[in-house]
Amino acid sequence: MNNPPSPWSLVPHGHDGPARQTGADDHIYSPRQHNGRFKAGGIATFMGAPYCAPDRNAIRAMGAKICFLGVPWDQGQVVRAGTSAGPGGLREASTQYFPYLFEYDVDVLTFFKLVDCGDVPIVPGNNDRTHQYIYDYVSECLHAGAKVILCGGDHSVPIPAARALSDFHRDGRIGYLHIDCHLDTAPDWAGIVNTNCSGPSRALELPNCDRSNIAHMGSRNGLNPKDWMDFFRDNDVRVIPMLEAVQRGVDVCTREIFDIAWRGTQGVYCSWDTDSLDAACMPGTTAPECFGIKPREAIEIARIAGRYGADIFEISELCPTFDVSQISIKLACCLVHHYLGSRARTLMAEGRTP
Q: What confidence tens digit (pLDDT) does each residue in 42-55 have?
A: 678 999 888 999 99
As a whole number of angstroms, the distance between CA 72 and CA 74 comes to: 7
Instruction: Work out the mean pLDDT of the chain and round it to a whole number.
Output: 91
pLDDT of 31 > 90? The answer is: no
pLDDT of 17 > 70? The answer is: no
Across the range 143-156, mean pLDDT stands at 96
Across the range 210-230, mean pLDDT stands at 96
Considering the chain, what percentage of its residues have pLDDT values greater than 70?
Answer: 90
For residue 15, what pLDDT is reported?
Answer: 46
First to last CA, the chain: 31
Q: Which residue has the higher pLDDT, 24 or 135?
A: 135
Query: Is-contact 286 245, C-beta < 8 A?
Result: no
For residue 19, what pLDDT is reported?
Answer: 56
Q: 337: closest CA among 307, 308, 299?
A: 299
Query: Is-contact 279 289, C-beta < 8 A?
Result: yes
Across the range 256-266, mean pLDDT stands at 98
| Identity of the amino acid at 290 | C
pLDDT of 22 > 80? The answer is: no
Q: Can you give the residue ranges of every domain in the chain?
A: 46-349
Domain at 46-349, CATH from 3.30.43.10, 3.40.800.10, 3.40.1020.10, 3.40.50.300: 3.40.800.10
Tens of pLDDT along 76-130?
Answer: 877 888 999 999 999 999 988 989 999 999 999 999 999 999 999 999 989 899 9
Across the range 272-294, mean pLDDT stands at 97
Bridge partners of 174, per DSSP, are 267
Q: Which residue has the higher pLDDT, 351 or 14?
A: 351
Q: How many Cα neighbours within 13 Å face the side chain of 188?
A: 4
Q: 179: closest CA among 264, 227, 245, 95?
A: 245
For residue 161, what pLDDT is reported?
Answer: 98
As a whole number of angstroms, the distance between CA 159 and CA 192 comes to: 13
Position 263 confidence tier, pLDDT thresholds 50, 70, 90:
very high
